[in-house]
Amino acid sequence: MRLSKWAAVAAVALVATTGCSVHPGAAAVVDGRTITQEYTQNASEDLGLDVGRTLSLLIAAPYFIDAAEANGVPVSPEDARAAVEDMRTANGGDAKAPIRAGAIEIMRLVLASQALSVLADGAQIQSDTNAHVLGLKMDINPRYGEMDLSSGLIARPPLPWIVPTDA
């Protein structure tokens, strides 16, 4: 009997802790679109970016890619793949190493932003797109931090129990 009591307590504890994560495996859910932790981590590794910055870019990417297309300066996945390969070559990396979908999506964002910036009203388009992104309903996994609406980046909040020391 004692074992079944502990099993019941463990089951309740498991249910209670899994209930804390509304979206298991998600780095963020943005306007109903799930960005997984794996997708975020893979993009971070492929591009050598901090995961918070990577997630910020993945959140914004579809909206900037759509804005570029809507304004006559679309960016293809092939263009983005070539740009990642060029970046790797310039940095002494292996240009032919696998490039996963998240890295291509982020590079499409970068290229879309560059393409928009040369348009006569490009600055306004980018500003409007950024405002739209920041106005979306976002559920960001606390592991990555919180969206800083002034910068548009995900940053880890200060941890009051960690006190920096002078080195």
What is the DSSP code string of 106-135? Answer: HHHHHHHHHHHHTSTTHHHHHHHHHHHHHT
pLDDT of amino acid 7: 42
Identify whether 9 is part of a domain: no
Number of structural domains found in the chain:
1
* Beta strands 146-148; 153-155: pairing state: antiparallel
Identify whether 163 is part of a domain: no
Identify whether 158 is part of a domain: no
Contacts of residue 155, defined as CB under 8 A and 6 or more positions apart, other chains included, come to: 52, 145, 146, 148
Identify whether 151 is part of a domain: no
Identify whether 96 is part of a domain: yes
Identify whether 104 is part of a domain: yes
Question: Two tokens at 127?
Answer: 């500003």
Identify whether 35 is part of a domain: yes
**Domain encompassing residue 136:** 25-146
pLDDT by residue (tens digit) across 32-91?
A: 999 999 999 999 999 999 999 999 999 999 999 999 999 999 999 999 999 999 999 998
What is the model's pTM? 0.80
Identify whether 93 is part of a domain: yes
